[in-house]
Amino acid sequence: MITAPIQIWLGFFLIVSGISFGRMGPSFKRNQYTLFFVLLGTLCILLPKSNLYDQSSLNQLPEYYLMNIIDNFIPWFFTGFLGYYLVLVGAPTYWKIRYPQLISGWIIILSSLYLYVEYNSHFSVKEIFLAFSSFIGILISLLCFAILVRYIENSTPLDEPAPELTDEEKELVTRIISKNIGVDEG
Amino acid sequence: MNADLIELLYYVIGGFIISNISLILFQVVSYHPYSRPLIPILVQSISVLLCLVLIIELNEGVTDLLYSLRFGLSQGLIGIIIILPLFYVLMLYFLFMASIRSRQHDPLLALLDAE
C-alpha cells in the first residue's frame, strides 16, 4: 500500500521533474512530457491520503502541518493562477486587447483574493518572518550552484573550431532560410 | 538554544534542502550531451547530507536520514507557501500595469495585422 508521505513526495518530485522537462535547448524534445508530469504530480498531492489523518500518531508526521497548509493554499492559488493566465492572454502585450479574457481574469483574481481572506489560515508576523528565512536557504543554494556551474564552465576546455559547412549543408540552410522569409528558391 | 532561533534555522535549512533537491532533479531530468552535472550534483548531495545530519543533531524527534529529509523538505515547502501570498500581491501590481498599458506602434506587427 502506498503511504501518504510517499504519495506527497512522489507528487512533488513529479512536479519538479515536469517543470524541468520544459527546459529549452538540446533537451527540448522532452518538453512534450511537461504537462503530463505536472498534472500527475498535482493529482498525487491532491488525491485523498488515506493514512495521513487517520493515524493516532499523525502529529509525528512532518507532512501533517504541510498538508494542512496545502489544503488551504490550493483553492485560492489555482483560482488566482487561472485569473493570471486570462489577464495575460487579454492584456495588450503582444496582441490587441481582449476584453472578455481581461475582465473575466480580473474577476477571477478578485475571487481568489476573497478565497484567501475568507478561508485561508492567517499567519502572524512572527510566522511570516520565520518562513521568510527559508528564502535565505534558497538564495544560498542558488548562489552555490551558480559558483559551481561557473567553475565547471571555466574549467572545461574549448572545443575545436567547427569545420566549414559542406555544400549539402549550405543548400539545406539556404532552403530553410528561403522558406522562412518567404522567398522563392527558383 | 532559543526555540525561535532553532525554528528559524529549520526554515533556512529546509529552504536550502528543497532548493538543492530541485536543482539536482533539474540537472538529472534535463541532461543532454553538453551538460556536465556530475560535480554540481556531487557537491549538492554532500551539502544536503550535511544539512540532514544537522537536523538530526538539532531535533531529538528526528532519528534517521529519511525522516530528516522529509522534515527538511516539509519545512522548506511550508516556508515557500507561507510567503507566496506576498509575491502574489506584488505580481498583481505588474499585472495591473500590463492590463492598462497601451501597445506602441510596431511596423512589423502592423504588417501581420495587414495580412
Q: What is the ipTM of this complex?
A: 0.83
Phi (first) and psi of residue A76, to 5 degrees:
-75, -30
Residues of chain A with Cβ-Cβ distance to B30 below 8 Å are: 20-21, 23, 27, 30
| Chain B: closest CA distance from residue A128 (Å) | 7
Whether this model's pTM surpasses 0.90: no
3-state secondary structure of A49: coil
Cell numbers representing residue A19 in the block: 517543470
Per-residue pLDDT tens over the stretch A14-61: 999 998 888 766 656 777 888 899 999 999 888 876 665 555 555 567
Question: Which of B11, B30, B71 lies closest to A130 in CB terms?
Answer: B11
CB within 8 Å of chain A, chain B residues 94-113: 95, 98-99, 101-103, 109
**Residue B40: closest C-alpha in chain A:** A148
pLDDT, position A27: 57
Q: Are A26 and B99 an interchain contact pair (Cβ–Cβ within 8 Å)?
A: no
Local confidence pLDDT in tens for the 115 residues of chain B: 688 888 899 999 999 999 999 999 999 988 888 888 899 999 999 999 999 999 999 888 888 898 899 999 999 999 999 888 888 889 889 888 888 877 666 666 666 666 5
The amino acid at A148: L
Higher-pLDDT residue of A7, A146 = A146
Per-residue cell: B28:
538529472
Let me know: does B84 contact A75? Beta carbons within 8 Å. no
**Which grid coordinates belong to B81?**
507557501
Are B8 and A130 within 8 A, CB to CB?
A: yes
Residue of A nearest to B112 (CA): A95
Q: What percent of chain A has pLDDT over 70?
A: 85
Residue A2, pLDDT score: 55
Residue in B closest to A37 by C-alpha: B29
What is the residue extent of each domain of chain B? 3-83
Residues of A whose CB is below 8 A from B67: 62
In order, the DSSP letters of A48-116 are --TTTSS-TTGGG-THHHHHHHHHHHHHHHHHHHHHHHHHHHHSSSSS---HHHHHHHHHHHHHHHHHH
Average pLDDT of the residues in A97-122? 86
